[in-house]
Structures are given as structure tokens and as C-alpha cells.
Amino acid sequence: MSVTLAKNAGFCFGVKRATDFVEQLVGECSHDTDIYTIGSLIHNRLYNEALAARGVRAIAVEEAEAAVTRAANAHRRCVFVIRTHGLPKEDEAVLRRLAEQNPEVRVEDLTCPFVKRIHKIAEEETSEETRFVLLGNPTHPEVLGIMSYAKGEKAALPTADDIGAYLEVRQNDQKSLILAAQTTQSLQEWKKTQKFHEKLYTKAKIFDTICSVTENRQTEAVALARDADRMIVVGGLDSSNTGKLYELCRAVCPDTVRIESASELSEEYKTDATKKVAITAGASTPSGIILEVY
């Protein structure tokens, strides 16, 4: 059996930055500090379970005030970590207010810089006279955060076809179009979205916001999948970028599987010497899990 591991598999810069920070935080101050992430730190169940075993708790922003009260009653400090996906503007404001009111509370913002850039675009480029359209999963945490910064008419839509239908019925009004994408979106969908804009809107502002790591990972994964008999995509089931990798690979290599860990591989995958196998992994997949599969 020939097995090739993608060079771009595993933690991206933003995820590594966040996980390194939280792990250092646990090592340095968990003895006197309650550490909370607002939502799961990354979209990888196995990693988050390991973090929880070390005392890091994932909570909703609505639980933050009660967490501060518990810490104060126990004479402990409290740290709230904003994960790589970012938060809605109003949720971050809640955390900042708690930190301002309580000297033993602090907020650590680990939002990915690529996501921060889209926050800035949404906030600075939109107004009541604009239409902000984002190619992305409307319920994804990153998208919820981005949309909270946009003013005026706005829509987050999951496919290029959805965006095309949305824009077609609005093409004759006077609103200017601002177009961007979730950082982990499919490059193919984004290129298709741009074609709709070229057809319907001649004065739109287009921001290429799919991160470079996503671009490189998708390009490499598709190339490997085309040359493989079997393709294995490793990552959390709730990971958007892992899902996109799986879809892209399956389109060119029908024998593509998506797994969270090596334990999910069938014996056939482990022993069939006639197959040429390639492996890639999402941006939230720890190196240890990838190496177990490899």
C-alpha cells in the first residue's frame, strides 16, 4: 500500500495560536483561575474533550455572568477565551463589560486574524445604502460573528446558486453590493459566486476573504485525491473546512471517507496493499490524530 500525507494537513495558524495559548494558560494559572471558552475552542471533539479533562469549560455567553459569580465566591480569577471563529459583536460586549466591572476577570481574544479582517470589512464598508452578502453557512459561529458587524441589508447564504437567486430579484434597486466569503469556504463556490456578481452587478465591491491556508489545503487535497484510489479526510464532524475538503475530494475520488480518528477505519483500509491512499485533514485536527491515521 502506498500512503501519502498532505503537507498542509492539520492545525492552521489561527488554531495553533489559540490552542498554544490556552494550553499555556492551563499550565500557568489553572490552580487559581477558572478558564472558559465561549463555545468549543476548535471544531474537534477529541481535542475539546481532552481540554475539558484539564478543567477548561466551554460555555455560552449567557452563562458568563454566573461563571464570574462562582469564581468570586471561591476567591478565584476568571478568564474568558474568545475562540478562533470570533463572536457576535454584542456577545463580545457582554464579556468586556464583565471584565470592566470585575478586576479578577479578563477576556482573551483569539479570533483568527483572517476572521478579524472580515469583521472590519463588514463594519467599515456597509451602511443603510449597501447590501452585504456573505458566502457561508448562516448558522456557523464565524458567520454569526461576521454578520453582526454589517449594517443595512445583509444575507449569509450557503451556496453560489442561493446568492445568484437572491441577487437576481434585487438587481434593479440602487443599493451597492459588498461581497465576501467565510474563511473556510470552497474556492469553487466562491468563483461561481463571483460569476453571478459579474452578470448582475457591475459596481460591486468584492473581497477575497477565503484564507490562504484554506486555498492551499483545498488545492493540495484535490490534487492528491485525483491521483489516489482512496482518500481519507480527517477532522471533526462539526468542522466546516473538513466538510469542504471531503466534498471536494469525493468529487474527484469516489472512494473518499471522512473520519474523526483512526479507530473508524475499516480493516480493509489498513491491509489492502493494492490501493494508493492519500490523507488530508482539517484545520482543527491535531497532529497526533493525523499521525495515528497515517
SS (H, E, C) 37-88: EECCCCCCHHHHHHHHHCCCEEECHHHHHHHHHHHHHCCCEEEEEECCCCCC
Q: What is the pLDDT of residues 25-52, one digit of tens each?
A: 999 987 899 999 999 999 999 999 999 9
pLDDT in tens, 47-103: 999 999 999 999 999 999 999 999 999 999 999 999 999 999 999 999 999 999 999
Matching fold, domains 2-10+212-293 and 13-111? no
- For the domain 13-111, what is the CATH code? 3.40.50.11270
**23 has catalytic annotation:** no
**What is the value of pTM for the model shown?**
0.89
38: cell is 465561549
Every domain of the chain and the residues it spans? 2-10+212-293, 13-111, 114-206
Of the residues 65, 108, 142, 292, which is catalytic?
142
Model confidence pLDDT, tens digit, residues 58-70: 999 999 999 999 9
| CATH class belonging to 114-206 | alpha beta
Q: Which fold would CATH assign to domain 2-10+212-293?
A: Cobalt-precorrin-4 Transmethylase; domain 1 (3.40.1010)
